[in-house]
């Protein structure tokens, strides 16, 4: 980016292993010489929404500095503005940033903004309460796992921090789900249902479906219905080796509007944060947000299949 621009960085001081002062100093060192940079810090959950809304009105570029929850909040505030979104990841898994090929190391991510980047229009998932998700909404086991992960362990162990929570709930009961995708309703006993705009959970190696993109105008609904622990283990093994589509206990549907009901009510997570429980309803909003993403070595915009 050769033209000097107005940028606002929204920094969550409570994520990651590095202190907020260190991250702020890094941004001032790397970015401030090249853009009119303002840095603001969040004080409590939800702050990044209002800060993102204000920044999108006043800036060319809004930089979300934090984990997936921070990126989600900033994006929620930006939808009515004209600014582009950039990400400097400082969280535990940084799923959204990694899905766009953004470096996981904050200094490298900041430097990337001064290099070969291009704007990428992406879809978002809009829930019935108007909250959006950039990457994924899930109900059932994954929401239990997200909700029970220990924050201190997340800072130290990244995605491995979710393993104890997963082991805690892996033998738990399934739910009776009614899942409506456009005009088709599926009734099933399942351990979890994912509504995906991105292709993986926790780490790019762990893809949960096939041909999932954030720019195709479609939601991908993946239903995991293992009847027992052996089947659950089979699904996990196939996810680990990139063959989840070969499991008989996984079904994938596509559409533009999704409603999930369950008995009993199941927890729901949105981009890694537990936000409530079923029922939940959502739809795809095509090309709702523009993100700055690195250009690959082959000369194209980094794939947003994640």
| pLDDT (tens place) for every residue of the chain, 306 residues total | 446 789 999 999 988 777 889 999 999 999 999 999 999 999 988 899 999 999 999 999 999 999 999 999 999 999 877 899 999 999 888 999 999 999 999 999 999 999 889 999 999 999 988 899 999 999 999 999 877 665 665 555 565 666 666 677 788 889 999 999 999 999 999 999 999 999 988 778 888 999 999 999 999 999 999 999 999 999 999 998 989 999 999 999 999 999 999 999 999 999 988 999 999 999 999 999 999 999 874 444 444 454
Task: Report which of 38, 44, 28 is spatially closest to residue 59, judged by C-alpha positions.
Answer: 38
Q: Do 164 and 96 fall into the same domain?
A: no
Same domain, 104 and 138: no
Taken as a whole, the chain contains a residue count of 306
If asked whether residues 46 and 177 sit together in one domain, one would say no
Same domain, 141 and 281: yes
What is the SS3 assignment for 193? Answer: strand
Beta-sheet pairing, 61-66 with 6-11:
parallel
In this structure, what CATH number is given to the domain that contains residue 194? Answer: 2.60.200.40
Residues 140 and 223 in one domain: yes
Same domain, 149 and 248: yes
Number of domains in the chain: 2
Domain-located, residue 125: no
Residue 303 in any domain: the answer is: no
Please indicate, yes or no, if residue 306 is contained in any of the structural domains.
no
**What CATH number did the domain enclosing 18 receive?**
3.40.50.10330
Q: Are 122 and 134 in contact (CB under 8 A)?
A: yes
Whether residue 155 is contained in a domain is answered as yes
Please indicate, yes or no, whether residues 147 and 98 belong to a single structural domain of this protein. Answer: no
User: Are residues 136 and 103 both part of a single domain?
Assistant: no
Adjacent-strand bridge partners of 261: 178
Its domain, for residue 175, covers 132-286
- CB count within 10 Å of CB 80 equals 8
Of 49, 80, 115, the domain-final residue: 115
Q: Is residue 301 part of a domain?
A: no
- Within-domain flag for 295: no
Identify whether 304 is part of a domain: no
Same domain, 59 and 110: yes
One domain, residues 276 and 137: yes
Do 136 and 203 fall into the same domain? yes
Per-residue pLDDT at 215: 94
Alpha-helical (H) ranges within 149-258 are 151-157, 163-169, 229-240
121 in a structural domain? no
233 shares a domain with 189: yes
3-state SS assignment for residue 65: strand
């Amino acid at each position: 980016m050769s033209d000097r621009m107005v940028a606002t960085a929204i920094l969550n001081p409570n994520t990651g292993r590095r202190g907020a002062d260190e991250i702020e100093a890094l941004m001032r060192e790397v970015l401030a010489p090249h853009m009119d940079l303002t840095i603001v810090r969040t004080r409590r959950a939800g702050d990044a929404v209002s800060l993102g809304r204000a920044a999108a009105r006043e800036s060319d570029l809004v930089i979300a500095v934090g984990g997936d929850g921070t990126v989600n909040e900033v994006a929620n505030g930006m939808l009515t503005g004209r600014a582009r979104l950039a990400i400097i990841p400082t969280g535990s898994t940084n799923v959204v940033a990694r899905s766009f090929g953004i470096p996981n190391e904050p200094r490298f991510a900041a430097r990337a903004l001064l290099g070969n980047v291009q704007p990428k229009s992406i879809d978002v998932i809009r829930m019935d309460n108007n909250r959006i998700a950039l990457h994924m909404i899930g109900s059932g086991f994954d929401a239990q796992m997200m909700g029970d992960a220990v924050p201190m362990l997340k800072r130290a162990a990244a995605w491995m921090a979710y393993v104890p929570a997963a082991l805690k709930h892996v033998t738990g009961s399934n739910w009776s789900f009614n899942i409506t995708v456009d005009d088709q309703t599926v009734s099933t006993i399942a351990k979890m249902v994912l509504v995906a705009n991105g292709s993986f959970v926790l780490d790019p190696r762990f893809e949960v479906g096939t041909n999932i993109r954030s720019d195709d105008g479609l939601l991908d609904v993946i239903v995991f219905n293992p009847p027992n622990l052996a089947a659950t283990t089979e699904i996990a093994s196939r996810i680990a080796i990139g063959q989840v589509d070969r499991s008989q206990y996984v079904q994938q549907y596509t559409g533009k509007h999704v409603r999930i009901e369950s008995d009993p009510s199941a927890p729901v997570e949105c981009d890694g944060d537990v936000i409530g429980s079923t029922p939940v309803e959502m739809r795809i909003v095509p090309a709702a947000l523009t993100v700055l993403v690195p250009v690959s070595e082959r000369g194209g915009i980094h794939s947003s299949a994640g």
